[in-house]
Amino acid sequence: MKKKIGIVILIGALLAGVILIVYAKSIVALFGAMWESAPIEIYDNIDDYERYRSGEQAEKEFQSKWDMDESIWPESITDEMNVTDYKMVYYDPWDAQYLGYLVVEYPPDAYTAETQRLLNYPSTEYQGYYGVTGESDYKLLAIYADPYYGFVYAMTDEDNTIIYAEQIFCDYFMDLDYKKNVPEEYFLDGFDASSGNSYQKSKM
């Protein structure tokens, strides 16, 4: 009798193990399908700028951007701004990620005014986050950085052009191929948000 009970228990344990394995594989497959099916949305029409800058006027998924302060970026695009390049990228396989840059050439007076606005911004600490050591390609004018959610900043070539940039994400890395979507010189020195980056390892 005891032998039969033991066999029943063994068979039950084996069946439970098989069910758990199948369930685990199903969950992994489901997450994999979600990751592969999520579209990478790219917006580069400057006429739609306000739809993708955070605020009440923006499309629903762009309104808060993890509550990062995007006021460093211009509130709107005006006639005096010569926009030479613009891109906003959105990806949400399970957590929203935002990647963007805006390059504006200003007339001298407007450049002076915008530079002063940015210099008056209460910039935050940023060095050390995601390997960032500073900024050497351009003069950094203003920055809002979060040790978890990333960066929003503005910098200048000191010749009437201002570059606004952002990398907003969570979980200490980006699924987005950010190097493919943004010119390298627009990233802060040392920025590394790739999967398995050293900053991620120090926080997990």
Flag whether pLDDT at 10 surpasses 80.
no
Query: For residue 86, which of 96, 97, 77 has the smallest C-alpha distance?
Result: 77
What's the pLDDT tens digit per position in 169-182?
Answer: 999 999 999 999 99
Q: How confident is the model at residue 38 (pLDDT cuts 50, 70, 90)?
A: confident
Tokens 């926009």: give the residue.
83
d(CA 158, CA 163): 11
CA–CA distance from 172 to each of 6, 96, 112, 180 (Å)? 48, 13, 36, 19
Write out the two tokens for 132: 């960032």
- 37 pLDDT tier (thresholds 50, 70, 90): low
Residue where the block lists tokens 């007076």: 109
Ranges assigned E (strand) in 117-197:
139-146, 150-156, 161-168
Q: What is the pLDDT of residue 7?
A: 54
Mean pLDDT of the chain: 87
142 has a pLDDT exceeding 50:
yes
pLDDT exceeds 80 at position 32: no
Residue 27, pLDDT > 90, answer no
Under 8 Å between Cβ of 187 and 99: no
Q: 161 and 105 in contact (C-beta within 8 Å)?
A: yes
d(CA 132, CA 197): 12
The string over 129-140, giving b where at least 16 C-beta atoms fall within 10 Å of a residue's C-beta and e elsewhere, is bbbbeebeebeb
pLDDT at residue 135 greater than cutoff 90: yes
Q: Which pLDDT score, from 0 to 100, does residue 187 have?
A: 98
Query: Which amino acid does the sequence have at 141?
Result: L
